[in-house]
Structure 1
Amino acid sequence: MSKHQSIFSPRYFALSIGIILSVMAVGFEGLAVTTIAPSIAADLNGIDLFGWIFSTYLLAQIIGTLVVGRIIDRQGPAIPFTFALLLFVVGLIVAATASDMYMMIGARAMQGLGAGAMMTCVYTAISLSYPDELRAKILGAFGTAYVLPSMLGPYVAGIIAEQWSWRFVFWGILPILILSALLSLPAFRKLRAQGVQAENGATATWMAILLTIGTGIFLVGLGMLPTITGIILSIVGLALMGYPLRKLLPKGTLTLRRGMPAILATRGLFFAAYVSTQNFLVLALIDVKKMTPDQAGLIVASAALSWCVFAYLQGRWDTADQGLGRNKRIMLGVLLLTIGIVVVLWIPIVTTAVAVIGQIIAGIGMGLAHPTSGAVSFAQSGEDGAGKTSANLQFADSFTPGVVIGIGGAILVVSQVAGLSMQSGLIVTMGFHLLLVIMSLFASTRIKQAT
């Protein structure tokens, strides 16, 4: 590869821009809904169904992610990407025209299916279209495209909802998706399946559905803790989740086996710890430290900024050392994320300056570890197939954080029932995140170097 070649050279330009726009659209939509959800629930008289605006999206995303990965390895990504894009578009239109909460929840299910499948197709296109030397760079741009909406998305969505209507947020995403399709679909149609013999598609589908049902029961149970019903539902949900997880993930993922299983375990743990920390840090800043929502948003945005900068830098370093330093960058990234969580762990000492410092350090860690773990996964994915590896990466980025956020919420509920303050409950929750990222740091030592 020419040293002057880049992800924006003529050969890759249209696909790179199309991928970036796809990721930005999905990222903006997800973050925007966080901001406008209270308005949606109020307008549609569905406050009692508020949580399902998010849970439905997560649960549907599991199916979209895991099922399409197996289809890609048999048929290639073009047709699945087209259907995923259409499903996401239909979900946006239904949401924009929803007349009640049940219609909105159905729309979110379509969006979740489409988003999970779209991102899996995007990961596959990266694996099949870019040489190993460029993957770290496009994955860095991928991460930047997903993170940048976190800096503007909630604010823009809030302005739109306040000045016009929350419905315009969904309409506004459509042009971005159409432009993405025009740029990326021609390149997607040139990609072919690798001829990998994927596992039985029907079996994978049923496993994904069983996992979705189990996760749904588990999340419902967590929301009802510490009642007996909540405990029973949580245990039943966990039991139902165990078998499909073992079948759908590479063998040894849950035991941190060296190689690909360790990569996915590392990524799932550190990404979940990061995302959940962000959510509960905002809660701590607003409810405990009495900051305004816009102040809390700006503090969290500092992590997005440092993530973007170091996602770009890791691509340059990857080129300089020809990928030989990837494992060290993952370990360093997870270590920095650990430090970032430690900085904000003890809520009483968290001031604006402390929170910003912690967020910047955590963002640097994510900028190093997140795109690099993707590059290492694709470098070792030969026998599994790009589609399955892509599904595994997207699964780590969506399923694990959703479950961890649910557990964090349950910790707060149980803490309050036990008579502890919100501050104490948040400290315990942050401690749980710290435990996860320490586990990720250990798992990162078991990632073998690709040869």
Structure 2
Amino acid sequence: MKRESIWGPNYRALTIGIILVVTAAAFEGLAVTTIAPALAKELNGESLYGWVFSTYLLAQLIGTVITGQLVDRSGAAKPFVFSLIIFGIGIVLAALSPNMIVFIISRFLQGYGAGALVNCVYTAITLRYSDSLRPQILAVFSSAYILPGLIGPYVAGVITEQLDWRYVFWLILPFVFISALLTTPSFRGMNTALKSAQKLRVVPPVLLAVGTGIMITGLGMMPHLYGILLAVVGLITLVIPLRQLIPEGTFTARSGIPAIVASRGLFVAAYSGTQTYLVLALTSVLGFTADTAGLAVASAAISWSIAANLQAQRDKRDNGAGRKRRILVGLSFMIIGVSAAAPLAFIQDSGTALVVAIASQIIVGFGIGLAHPTSAAIAFSYSKSGEEGKVSADLAVADTFTPAISIGVAGALITITETTGFSTELGITVSLAMQLLLVIVGIVAAVKLSRGVLAGK
């Protein structure tokens, strides 16, 4: 009997469409990570460096949660098209930004669009692909980072060094148009696939993003009293909507989807935070150019893709029985990689520093490449009919909220370190050490997957 394939006639168009969408979003994300120090300097916005990433992630959170509800109510086609338009507007605004505030606004639009797009893609995976095919399409999802990972960071760095960082965004824009033309037809058939009578909830994700933003702003103003007050107000503001948006039992990593969301949120936060401040260490402390720093970002993306494909092959062989083990192995790799990256800012020899940066990112990327698609496959196996958008949103919240907190808090730690008379090198080291702690807690949460983690449940 012939095995089903994601490249078969029933899936080919959608598979290609998913690759195009993810490639466009991945290229943009990897490029910004590389060029952020240069654009922040040109726009006189170094003090807002962390907001380049936190704003994107917070907007991504809003986009994923709201779109998840819209998909469950009316299908994925209209939200998908709207998301592409918002993402494209954000790209144009970024290229035209006259100052850091406008650029951060553009990042909000990009984040909302990207988050909504990923939710639509996850919903398509849940609806159209069987459980046996999901690890394959999730591996392809990760593999869509290969080309952007190979050339994105380096090309973005070269363009920034030789021309101007604005050209990077103009280069991304055609991908958005091509994705719209080739992918939209595949989503039209999903318009009537889902029906939900639940009321559209807009306030919780917006309130969560606002509260997180206030808290991060306050942390950046510490140790001043008004900074402490803002941080407390932000924390109080975000707690209630956060509890509404994540599965019950997430804070205690209860077995099942709550443990998946908890673990995934922690290890994704650690990955994003490590990469963000590793690039800052390479460019602002160690003096490397943007294109050289891009090599570290590229190495992580490539090893992520390789590991994702390996886990898909293993999942096919054991029919999902080894999913928990693959997450634990992946997080163990991440612990090794983040530990290696932590002291990077203090390495005196530039050659050694670059080798350590690239090697650590290869290891971290390989680890998350094992854990990330595997955690999604487990979550999808638990999804109930009519709640596919909700499960996709749960995963998206894990992918966006905790990284925003991680990057924001890490940036605040660097600011506090500098304002209290210590070195930037120490601030970056403390920030990277925080990412290590997140992975360790993430592996503890993953251990709780021992009950109920069965393929195809």
What is the alpha-carbon root mean square deviation over aligned residues?
2.6
Moved more, 378-387 or 12-21: 378-387
- DSSP-derived class of the 1:132 partner: coil
Name the counterpart of 1:74. Answer: 73
Name the counterpart of 2:416. Answer: 414
Name the counterpart of 1:206. Answer: 203
Query: What do residues 207-257 of structure 1 show as CA deviations (whole Å, max 9, x unaligned)?
Result: 111111101101211221221111111111111111000001111112211
Long gaps (5+) in structure 1: none
Q: How does 1:212-227 map to 2 (within 5 A)?
A: 212-227=209-224
Name the counterpart of 1:310. Answer: 307
- DSSP-derived class of the 1:323 partner: coil
Name the counterpart of 1:272. Answer: 269
Contact 1:58 1:398 in 2 (8 A): yes
Name the counterpart of 1:449. Answer: 453
Contact 2:71 2:79 in 1 (8 A): yes
Contact 1:148 1:304 in 2 (8 A): no
Name the counterpart of 2:369. Answer: 367
Name the counterpart of 2:251. Answer: 254
Determine the C-alpha separation between the residues in 2 that align with 1:161 and 1:280: 19
Aligned-pair CA distance for 1:343: 2.8
Closer, same or farther: CA 358–33 of 1 in aligned 2, 3 Å: closer
Determine the C-alpha separation between the residues in 1 that align with 2:83 and 2:202: 16
Long gaps (5+) in structure 2: none
Q: How does 1:160-179 map to 2 (within 5 A)?
A: 160-179=159-178
Aligned-pair CA distance for 1:331: 1.4
Closer, same or farther: CA 220–419 of 1 in aligned 2, 3 Å: same
Query: What do residues 139-174 of structure 1 show as CA deviations (whole Å, max 9, x unaligned)?
Result: 112122236424422332233345554443333223
Contact 1:72 1:193 in 2 (8 A): no
- DSSP-derived class of the 2:61 partner: helix
Moved more, 176-185 or 361-370: 176-185
Count of aligned pairs between the two proteins: 448
Determine the C-alpha separation between the residues in 2 that align with 1:195 and 1:291: 50
Closer, same or farther: CA 281–16 of 1 in aligned 2, 3 Å: same
Equivalent residue letter for 2:388 = A
Equivalent residue letter for 2:453 = Q
Closer, same or farther: CA 385–147 of 1 in aligned 2, 3 Å: farther
Contact 1:85 1:118 in 2 (8 A): yes
Equivalent residue letter for 2:378 = V
Closer, same or farther: CA 238–337 of 1 in aligned 2, 3 Å: same
Equivalent residue letter for 2:155 = V
Closer, same or farther: CA 417–44 of 1 in aligned 2, 3 Å: closer
Determine the C-alpha separation between the residues in 2 that align with 1:401 and 1:198: 31
Equivalent residue letter for 2:186 = A
Moved more, 17-26 or 153-162: 153-162
Moved more, 396-405 or 383-392: 383-392
Aligned-pair CA distance for 1:302: 2.5
Q: Once the two structures are aligned, what percentage of the paired residues are identical?
A: 49
Determine the C-alpha separation between the residues in 1 that align with 2:243 and 2:163: 47
Moved more, 83-92 or 103-112: 103-112
Aligned-pair CA distance for 1:59: 2.8
Contact 1:70 1:198 in 2 (8 A): no
Name the counterpart of 1:239. Answer: 236
Query: Are 1:328 and 2:295 an aligned pair?
Result: no
Closer, same or farther: CA 198–391 of 1 in aligned 2, 3 Å: farther
Contact 1:25 1:177 in 2 (8 A): yes
**Partner residue of 2:400 out of 392, 398, 401:** 398
Moved more, 171-180 or 188-197: 188-197
Name the counterpart of 1:156. Answer: 155
Contact 1:299 1:359 in 2 (8 A): yes
Determine the C-alpha separation between the residues in 1 that align with 2:58 and 2:446: 28
Contact 2:274 2:432 in 1 (8 A): yes
Contact 1:157 1:169 in 2 (8 A): yes
Contact 2:337 2:364 in 1 (8 A): yes
Contact 2:30 2:297 in 1 (8 A): no
Equivalent residue letter for 2:112 = L
Q: How does 1:16-27 map to 2 (within 5 A)?
A: 16-27=15-26
Equivalent residue letter for 1:88 = F
Q: How does 1:347-358 map to 2 (within 5 A)?
A: 347=344, 348=346, 351-358=353-360
Contact 1:307 1:367 in 2 (8 A): yes
Determine the C-alpha separation between the residues in 1 that align with 2:360 and 2:177: 38
- DSSP-derived class of the 1:446 partner: helix
Determine the C-alpha separation between the residues in 1 that align with 2:259 and 2:6: 28
Name the counterpart of 1:283. Answer: 280
Contact 2:64 2:115 in 1 (8 A): yes
- DSSP-derived class of the 2:10 partner: coil
Closer, same or farther: CA 332–78 of 1 in aligned 2, 3 Å: same
Query: Are 1:64 and 2:63 an aligned pair?
Result: yes
Determine the C-alpha separation between the residues in 1 that align with 2:287 and 2:158: 22
User: TM-score normalised to the size of structure 2?
Assistant: 0.89
Contact 2:269 2:403 in 1 (8 A): yes
Contact 1:196 1:383 in 2 (8 A): no
Equivalent residue letter for 2:340 = V
Determine the C-alpha separation between the residues in 2 that align with 1:160 and 1:288: 22
Contact 2:37 2:49 in 1 (8 A): yes
Determine the C-alpha separation between the residues in 2 that align with 1:86 and 1:112: 12
User: TM-score normalised to the size of structure 1?
Assistant: 0.90
Closer, same or farther: CA 138–157 of 1 in aligned 2, 3 Å: same
Contact 1:218 1:236 in 2 (8 A): yes
Aligned-pair CA distance for 1:333: 0.8
Aligned-pair CA distance for 1:431: 2.3
Contact 1:24 1:149 in 2 (8 A): yes
Name the counterpart of 1:133. Answer: 132
Determine the C-alpha separation between the residues in 2 that align with 1:156 and 1:86: 25
Query: What do residues 281-302 of structure 1 show as CA deviations (whole Å, max 9, x unaligned)?
Result: 2333445555554444323433
- DSSP-derived class of the 1:420 partner: coil
Name the counterpart of 2:437. Answer: 435
Closer, same or farther: CA 220–198 of 1 in aligned 2, 3 Å: farther
**Partner residue of 1:378 out of 368, 377, 380:** 380
Determine the C-alpha separation between the residues in 1 that align with 2:167 and 2:342: 38
Moved more, 223-232 or 289-298: 289-298
Determine the C-alpha separation between the residues in 2 that align with 1:379 and 1:57: 29
Closer, same or farther: CA 296–48 of 1 in aligned 2, 3 Å: closer
